Structure 1
Amino acid sequence: MLKHKKIVLFCVAVVLVLFTFTFFTAVHWIFFLLLFLIWLGLTTWGSFDIRLNYFTKAYCSKPNSISKEIALTFDDGPHEMTEKVLDLLKLFNVKATFFCIGKQIENNPQLFKRIISEGHLVGNHSFSHSENFGFFSSQNVLNEITTTNKLVQQWSGLNMKLFRPPFGVTNPMIAKAISETKHHVIGWNIRSLDTVYEDENTIFERVKNKIKPGGIILMHDTSQKSVNVLERLLLFLKTENYSIVSVDKLLNLSAYEN
């Protein structure tokens, strides 16, 4: 479990040292409380920042890239707005990566088929995208991933190997499920926050100011404001001579299992 395991081992070692000291001198309880708070803070931070690779390895960019390539990703579809996103991508001759929710695929099968038919990449974004996903057992996480994979295989014949956890949350349960499914966890290093901000200019400037080679942009194909920002972003990237590529090409990973 990468950094999480190291932190736990370190904290246990410190507790043992403090406990040993109690045989020789008084050790104030505040030291134990402080250690617990440090552990809790690091664990919470690691759970909500996928870029830290705290519980499981996540690909969030192509480090040290000098080629002006960038990946554009969309979460939470297929949605009625996905059609407008696809129209823009087609107009600019750009291929993107869509992390799809299983329930949304069931609700919008024709849009999902269009994503595939137009040459875009699809990845697993769980089945329910539950707000409680971070509290699911490893078995429930496993069910969410495998159900969506089976659904996509049924509709397209593709067996997805890319997974983006809802909200970018990771924890030991999610890590355990991923170790069984063998998916590649895909994060991001350019977060648009297009589901948080209402002002389109704020969203656009936030993304534009973070653009750099090897980056992975996170957007959502679920609102008109995101569509409007996307159009401006595509024009900007074209002006800056960026090539927009799918995640598998940027990271040199297999998106589907043969």
Structure 2
Amino acid sequence: MLRHKNIIVICLILLVLFCILKAAWWVFLLLFIGFAALVSWGSFDIRQNYFLKAYSSNPDRKERKIALTFDDGPHQMTEKVLDLLQQYNAKATFFCIGTQIEKYPNIMQRIVGEGHVVGNHTYSHSKSFGFFPSAKVKEEIRKNDDLLFEFTHKKIKFFRPPFGVTNPNVAKAIAATKHTVIGWNVRSLDTLIQNEDAILKRIKNKAKPGSIVLLHDTSLKTVRVLEQLLLFLQSEKYDMVAIDKLLNLPAYED
């Protein structure tokens, strides 16, 4: 854990100091609220590297390269996404859910067959993921790794936690599984924003060389946004690459 331990030490020092100074009760309350706010922020903002190291962009990348990533597939809409990527000669990274792989093995095979990179997004993508003990997190990751191995014949290195949530249990699990955690620095909010123009504008305003864009290959809305986004990136002379090419990190292990 990169920052959490430091915050705990600082808060403990302040707590002892306030006790010595016999500070008012509201000072202790403010300390507690501040600590809780920092932990919550670190848990839900993967870019902060609060509990573990996550690669959310490549700020050193000077060439006009950008990585498009898609979460929560494979899905029926994934085929339309693949058609567009093929049309624009773009490569992407798909963070796949195990239960979805079981539903759409043919689409999973197409993702791999067309040269895109796949990553682990847990087996079930449970809404309770943030409350799982480390043993359960490891089980979710390893079970999905086994499914992905059937298509790649290699050990998956890239992992993205559901909802981007991290905590000490996730950090402990990742230390055991040795995955490389991938975040993002451009969040499209395509699962929350209904207006397609607003989604596209949000991405265009935030995208720059070395960016990692978070999208979801699960709706026609995102497909329509993607078509306009690819046209824009092509006009801006961007090379749309998979995560391994953007970060110069291996996607798989033999």
- Global fold match (TM > 0.5): yes
| 1:210 CA drift (Å) | 0.9
Q: 1:217 aligns with which of 206, 209, 213?
A: 213
| 1:15 CA drift (Å) | 1.2
CA distance in 1, matches of 2:94, 2:151: 15
Gaps in structure 1 of 5+ consecutive residues: none
| 1:47 CA drift (Å) | 0.5
1:244 aligned onto 2:226: no
Match of 1:65 in 2: 61
Query: SS of the counterpart of 2:68?
Result: strand
Match of 2:148 in 1: 152
| 1:65 CA drift (Å) | 2.5
CA distance in 1, matches of 2:223, 2:176: 36
Q: 1:196 aligns with which of 175, 187, 192?
A: 192
Deviates more, 1:60-69 or 1:34-43: 60-69
* CA offset digits 1:135-177 (Å, max 9, x no partner): 1111111100000001111233121000000000111110110
Q: 2:86 aligns with which of 86, 90, 96?
A: 90
Query: SS of the counterpart of 1:209?
Result: helix
Contact 2:112 2:151 in 1 (8 A): no
* CA offset digits 1:17-76 (Å, max 9, x no partner): 22233xxxx421211111111000000011000000000000000014321110010000
Match of 1:256 in 2: 252
* CA offset digits 1:50-107 (Å, max 9, x no partner): 0000000000000143211100100000000000000111111111000000110011
Match of 1:232 in 2: 228
Match of 2:27 in 1: 31
1:139 aligned onto 2:135: yes
CA distance in 1, matches of 2:110, 2:138: 27
CA distance in 2, matches of 1:49, 1:119: 30
Query: SS of the counterpart of 1:70?
Result: strand
Counterpart of 2:147, as a letter, is: L
CA distance in 2, matches of 1:20, 1:204: 54
RMSD over aligned Cα atoms: 0.9
Counterpart of 1:3, as a letter, is: R
Match of 1:4 in 2: 4
| 1:13 CA drift (Å) | 1.3
CA distance in 2, matches of 1:156, 1:60: 24
Match of 1:15 in 2: 15
Normalized against structure 1, the TM-score is what? 0.97
Counterpart of 1:169, as a letter, is: V
CA distance in 2, matches of 1:33, 1:251: 42
| 1:211 CA drift (Å) | 1.3
The alignment of Structure 1 onto Structure 2 pairs a total of residues equal to 254
CA distance in 1, matches of 2:185, 2:140: 25
Report runs of 4+ in structure 1 exceeding 3 Å deviation.
none
Q: 2:101 aligns with which of 81, 100, 105?
A: 105
Match of 1:53 in 2: 49
Match of 1:77 in 2: 73
Normalized against structure 2, the TM-score is what? 0.98
Q: Percent identity?
A: 57
Q: 2:166 aligns with which of 161, 166, 170?
A: 170
